[in-house]
Copies of this chain bind each other. A is one copy, B any other.
Amino acid sequence: MALTVTLKHLSPELQQALQNEMEKVQQSLKLNVRSKFSGIRDVIDDVIDLNGKMLRPLLTIISAHFGSYQADKVVKLAASIEMLHMATLIHDDIVDDSKLRRNKESAQSKYGKDMAVYAGDFLLSKALTILNAKDYDTDHMVSLAKAIENICESELLQYHSKFHFMNVKNYLRVISGKTAALFAVSMYAGASESNCSEALSKKMGKIGYDIGIAFQIIDDILDFSDDQDHVGKTVRNDLKKGYYTLPVIYAIQGEHESVLNASEGELLTLIQKNKGIEKARELAKKYTKRAFKRISELPANEYKVALESLANTLLNRSY
């Protein structure tokens, strides 16, 4: 499997090349998370088998191709980034007490909170230790650890705004930290480790950031989709938990404060009435557009086509 995202308009050769690299990332992931302890192995194998889209490693691989690509080095970096992401997913499920993750039983539900806490910590530390200081720029290790800080702070900000009104600015702060920051590092570090210029690496980071913001807004919109199988998680999950994401924020903006006590049904009516989904789409489009503009400025390269294709797949999802 490995390359789970369909990329259109790519030559069969490029498709195959990306497929091969992503399989290497998958192998590196499996190889590097081996724990002496079978309990940890079970949790981690399960999370790997959840078959996430592996977007972050894919972004790393693609952006690394804009420089002098060194397969072993980039593959391990990409695996490390996916590990960090996996760790945050495992810990998020503890906080949310989630029973499901991508339609399968979550680690904390299946193995208990103990396993979930330590397996997440194990992955966090492992993600950093596999980036041997001799081969990698240690600033990137620090950037990765900083991305975790951002994710923690943002998840907490979100959690503590439950059932409260949050303005668009704070919503953007939350998704910037919990999603866009790691997308940005994925692309920045990929380019920078391949000796791209600092200017090009930074541009890659900005593209990753914009893709991340747009991706998260779309994800939040999809939570209101009626097609549960398509999305792969329980719908209106956020709303039920009191996470008022962008469509709700737009819907209740300017309404009387009492709407905060509205039922799920009333909120859905308000979203329709006040065009919450449409307005959220508009904001996602703004970031999508900016991402495409920056991508268009990248040096011509077959991986530029791959990046355009990936951004298209991610940001023009059926929403």
Contacts and interface: CB of A to CB of B under 8 A. Distances in A.
A241 to B, nearest CB: 11
Nearest to A144: B125
A91 to B, nearest CB: 5
Nearest to A131: B142
Contact of A133 (B129, B132, B141, B152): B141
Interface in A75-121: 88, 91, 94-95, 113-115, 117-121
Interface stretch (A5-13, A35-43, A48-56): A35-43
Interface stretch (A65-73, A153-161, A228-236): A153-161
A67 to B, nearest CB: 21
Interface in A192-231: none
Q: Is the interface of A mostly helix, strand, loop or mixed?
A: helix
Given A113-B113, A126-B149, 18 more contacts: A35-B153, A36-B153, A37-B153, A39-B157, A91-B118, A91-B121, A94-B113, A94-B117, A95-B114, A114-B156, A118-B155, A121-B121, A121-B148, A125-B148, A126-B145, A129-B146, A129-B149, A133-B142
Interface of A: 35-37, 39-40, 88, 91, 94-95, 113-115, 117-122, 124-126, 128-129, 132-133, 138-139, 141-142, 145-146, 148-149, 151-153, 155-157, 159-160
A40 B177 CA distance: 15
17 contacts: A35-B153, A94-B113, A95-B114, A95-B117, A118-B155, A119-B152, A119-B156, A121-B121, A121-B151, A122-B153, A124-B125, A125-B152, A128-B142, A129-B142, A129-B146, A133-B133, A133-B141
Copies of this chain per assembly? 2
Given A133-B138, A149-B125, A37 B156 contact: yes
Contacts of A95: 113-114, 117-118
Contacts of A129: 142, 145-146, 149
A157 to B, nearest CB: 6
Contacts of A115: 156
A141 to B, nearest CB: 7
Contacts of A88: 121
A126 B145 CA distance: 7
A133 B138 CA distance: 6
List 5 A-B pairs, minimum CB-CB distance, nearest first. Answer: A133-B138, A125-B148, A95-B114, A118-B152, A122-B152
